[in-house]
Amino acid sequence: GPFLHLRFSRAMVFAIEEINNSTELLPGIRLGYQIFDSCSSVPVAVHVAFQLLNSLDTVFYTGGNCLQSGMVMTIVGESGSTPSISMSRILGSFNIPQILAELKKVNFSRNGYGVSFNANGDPVAIYELVNWQKSETGKTELVTVGLYDASLPEGHDFQINRNITWMEDGTQVPVSVCSASCPPGTRKVLQKGKPICCYDCILCPEGETSNTTDSTDCIPCHKEFWPNAKRDTCIPKPVEFLSFQDILGIILAAFSVLGACLAIMTGAVFFHNRKTPIVRANNSELSFLLLISLTLCFLCSLTFIGAPSEWSCMLRHTAFGITFVLCISCVLGKTIVVLMAFKATLPGSNVMKWFGPPQQRITVVSFTFIQVLICTIWLVLSPPFPIKNLTAYKEKIILECALGSAVGFWAVLSYIGLLAAFCFVLAVLARKLPDNFNEAKFITFSMLIFCAVWITFIPAYVSSPGKFTVVVEIFAILASSFGLIMCIFAPKCFIILFKPEKNTKKYVMNKNVS
């Protein structure tokens, strides 16, 4: 640009004047110069070349009068290549050299300072660093405290060889800003009524970060990321679900396995004593089927633990719904048997033939089939599926099973509740029948526990956040299962194992026998 050309010309003038003023460099010879502006135009540059050629003079003037023209010794060409080439074709015929790059090789010393040019043709910068300091007499003077020499290697070009005195004779470097820089994790907020260099550093809000100094804005993290403690970077949110490594998961899994083992051991006790009066009086076929369904109820709670997958989400709800209906159907069948058995003892009654073992099996299968049908429709139309819940907590992701169809889920629960309520009503009606081991009393109490657990479950399930929704569901399954096995089977196992003298037909049929 024009400023660069001006610097070149001034450097040349400076060099020529230094040579002319020196008695050592070219004694008795004075150099002259003429500067023409080619306006970066080839025609103008050619015109200047012809003008210089028309004033050629072969005389050297050694006196003090320099008004006479001297001989053109050389021409410093244009900085651009095209004008310089055009000039060289004219000047070459007259053996006048044209230089451009040679100026860059000039290197001499004057008054203790070197004069040279860098690869770009620029003079090498050398600056003295001066500082206002008070002398011993109290006078303020300019003192050279260092030097900047661009010709030296990087890292050595800036030298400080004396102490610098700042305001009020202080040695602490003053700060030239109103406010310190805002670190990453914050943003700048201008102070009202003050210059723009005055600002406050405000911590980035939740979910946002800034990773540069003096940032004016904070950037929101991706929905699956969250800021670190310093809020200068986004890190992946931790993923949470009820796993087998969690304390809650371990405890619930242990109770599930314990319940299943308890049901199996109870079945073993009943099978070993299957011919005794107390087992035969309590409808052994339905009892064994009830114990099998209770074992499945305990084990199905394990499907709720672990990372949700497509298959586990479908399995956990349907397995729970079907096994519980199977369980309640068996209890309902036992309740109906108790009622029918009492009716059968009345004179002229023939009711038991209408509700014998075949009818009991059909009742259990029919009630269970309805639940299987509900679950099948649910799975076909809108099955449960795993999702990442990003709304329950800001700072973590909850892996859970979406219901797919809330109607399907509540239809499964409603059907279980309907059967439980029906069974409870029948058990209440049969609770005062004359039988020393009247199952209706135990069934009534077990259904009371069952209904209380699941009525409490509904608000707890709806209001529990994250993985605790699953915990509430598992707790309801285990509590109701333990309620059934303890109320219906524990008293009978106690008689079989610890009171064998009461395990007689006479005692079973006559409640007055001591």
Average pLDDT over residues 293-297: 90
Within-domain flag for 127: no
Among 116, 136, 154, which residue terminates a domain? 116
Within-domain flag for 241: no
Within-domain flag for 422: yes
Same domain? For 106 and 194 the reply is no
Structural contact between residues 500 and 277, judged by C-beta atoms closer than 8 angstroms: no
Same domain? For 323 and 465 the reply is yes
Structural contact between residues 46 and 90, judged by C-beta atoms closer than 8 angstroms: yes
Within-domain flag for 194: yes
Average pLDDT over residues 211-222: 89
pLDDT score of 460? 77
The Cβ of residue 323 has, within 10 Å, a number of other Cβ atoms equal to: 23
Within-domain flag for 190: yes
Query: From residue 86, how far is each of 46, 55, 97, 180, 366 by CA, in Å?
Result: 7, 19, 13, 58, 109
pLDDT score of 330? 86
Same domain? For 478 and 500 the reply is yes
Among 61, 82, 116, which residue terminates a domain? 116
Within-domain flag for 143: no
Average pLDDT over residues 453-461: 78
- Per-residue pLDDT tens digits for 410-447: 898 889 888 888 888 887 776 665 554 456 677 777 88
User: Alpha-carbon distance 131 to 142, whole Å?
Assistant: 6
Same domain? For 93 and 230 the reply is no
Query: From residue 384, how far is each of 9, 167, 343, 405, 473 by CA, in Å?
Result: 84, 75, 46, 7, 15
Same domain? For 255 and 300 the reply is yes
Half-sphere exposure of 97 (CA within 13 A, CB side): 6
pLDDT above 70 as % of the chain: 81
Q: pLDDT: is 326 or 117 the higher one?
A: 326
Domain that residue 102 falls in: 2-53+70-116
Same domain? For 323 and 256 the reply is yes
Same domain? For 338 and 232 the reply is no
User: Alpha-carbon distance 350 to 354, whole Å?
Assistant: 8
Same domain? For 191 and 330 the reply is no
Q: Where do the H-state alpha helices sit in 209-309? A: 247-272, 277-280, 284-300
User: Alpha-carbon distance 356 to 468, whole Å?
Assistant: 45
Which DSSP helix (H) or strand (E) runs through 314? helix 310-344
Within-domain flag for 164: no
Number of domains observed in the structure of the chain:
3
Same domain? For 390 and 476 the reply is yes
Same domain? For 322 and 460 the reply is yes
Within-domain flag for 142: no
Same domain? For 254 and 217 the reply is no
Among 100, 116, 132, which residue terminates a domain? 116
Phi and psi of 356, rounded to 5°?
Answer: -85, -170
Average pLDDT over residues 456-470: 78
Query: From residue 24, how far is each of 17, 21, 29, 108, 109 by CA, in Å?
Result: 13, 9, 11, 12, 12
pLDDT score of 342? 61
User: Alpha-carbon distance 500 to 269, whole Å?
Assistant: 13
- Per-residue pLDDT tens digits for 234-279: 999 988 888 888 898 899 999 999 999 999 999 898 888 877 777 7
Q: For residue 256, what is the domain's CATH number?
A: 1.20.1070.10
Q: For residue 110, what is the domain's CATH number?
A: 3.40.50.2300
- Helix, strand, or coil here: 264? helix
Highest mean pLDDT, choosing among 60-69, 115-124, 326-335: 326-335
Q: Side chain identity at 416, as an amino acid letter? A: I
- Helix, strand, or coil here: 265? helix
Same domain? For 318 and 421 the reply is yes
Nearest-CA neighbor of 49 among 10, 4, 93, 79?
A: 93
Burial class (CB in 10 A: 0-12, 13-18, 19+), 459: exposed
User: Alpha-carbon distance 417 to 474, whole Å?
Assistant: 17
Query: From residue 445, how far is each of 223, 334, 395, 501 by CA, in Å?
Result: 49, 14, 45, 26
